[in-house]
């Protein structure tokens, strides 16, 4: 009796996985089969390829299509939009109200600083933050940031070595230099701080840890993009506690 029950359960599970993995095909969309748990993101789950590389492959495999279906982790159905006019309708046109939320999961209580990031926030919180930021990005104000960006680009160009180098560290320094200069009007000394006479960069001390990977980075990315339950289980914070404390101390109390 027990083997029969196990066989029925196994057969039912396989049929469910097959039904779930053909969600888009049942709706008439072009889409690969979605494998159980990993969907079409197996290489990402194994740490072999980045999100962008997988999306690029899906994009290039389907020339001529306006959109193509695929499956994210945990076999979540998703659509990759390829048509520029359709993108415009979704991002700034009549369909924006139906697609305004993003698929990033941040706990407002556990990750307070990150939840106030307008690129991460959802729902009413996002609408309030967006209303506060829109007046800051007028064409004239954006143009005023160009000299700061150009200066940071020059500093970056002067420091790129001829041989192999750590691109992540250099990109982190460039990003922080631009933010400090364009937004706060400060020279953060992030580019050139390794030179003998340059002052140490407190910006790097406070903020560089936010960009550093850890042994939990892959699981944290999965929880951020796919599973709030996994995020609660591992106690994930987009802005880790030491970095958050340094930010509050640095910007608040010096």
- The tens digit of pLDDT for each residue in 7-21 reads 888 889 888 888 989
Beta bridge partners of 39: 35
CA nearest neighbour of 41 among 190, 222, 173? 222
Query: d(Cα 94, Cα 159) in Å, to the nearest integer?
Result: 46
> Which has the minimum average pLDDT: 109-123, 172-186, 197-211, 239-253?
239-253
Task: Say if residue 34 is exposed, middle or buried (CB neighbours under 10 Å; 0-12, 13-18, 19+).
Answer: buried
Per-residue pLDDT reduced to its tens digit, 237-251? 776 655 555 554 545
> Which has the minimum average pLDDT: 4-13, 131-140, 152-161, 245-254?
245-254
> Average pLDDT for residues 68-76, to the nearest whole number?
89
Q: Are 174 and 201 in contact (CB under 8 A)?
A: no
Beta bridge partners of 76: 72
User: Where would I find the beta strands (DSSP E) of 32-168?
Assistant: 67-72, 76-81
pLDDT for residue 81: 92
Domain chopping of the chain, boundaries? 2-99, 101-137+213-254, 138-197
Query: d(Cα 223, Cα 115) in Å, to the nearest integer?
Result: 15
Tell me how far CA of residue 201 lies from CA of 144, 206, 234, in angstroms: 24, 9, 32
Query: d(Cα 181, Cα 165) in Å, to the nearest integer?
Result: 25
Q: Are 155 and 177 in contact (CB under 8 A)?
A: yes
């Amino acid at each position: 009796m027990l083997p029969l029950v196990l066989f029925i359960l196994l057969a039912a599970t396989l049929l469910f996985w097959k039904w779930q993995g053909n969600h888009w095909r049942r709706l008439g969309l072009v889409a690969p089969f979605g494998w159980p748990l990993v969907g079409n993101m197996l290489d990402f789950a194994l740490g072999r390829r980045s999100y962008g590389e997988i999306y690029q492959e899906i994009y290039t495999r389907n020339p001529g299509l306006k959109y193509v279906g695929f499956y994210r982790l945990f076999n979540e159905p998703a659509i990759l939009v390829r048509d520029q006019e359709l993108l415009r309708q979704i991002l700034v046109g009549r369909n924006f109200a139906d697609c305004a939320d993003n698929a990033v999961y941040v706990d407002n209580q556990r990750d307070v600083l990150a939840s106030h990031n307008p690129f991460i926030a959802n729902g009413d919180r996002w609408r309030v933050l967006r209303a506060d930021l829109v007046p800051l990005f007028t064409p004239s104000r954006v143009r005023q940031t160009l000299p700061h960006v150009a200066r940071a680009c020059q500093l970056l160009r002067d420091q790129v070595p001829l041989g192999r180098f750590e691109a992540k560290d250099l990109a982190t320094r460039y990003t922080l230099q631009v933010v400090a200069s364009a937004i706060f009007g400060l020279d953060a000394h992030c580019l050139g701080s390794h030179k003998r006479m340059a002052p140490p960069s407190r910006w790097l001390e406070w903020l560089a840890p936010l960009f550093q990977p850890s042994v939990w980075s892959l699981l944290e990315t999965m929880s951020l993009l796919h599973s709030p339950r996994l995020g609660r289980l591992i106690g994930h914070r987009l802005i880790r506690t030491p970095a958050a404390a340094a930010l509050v101390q640095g910007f608040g109390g010096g």
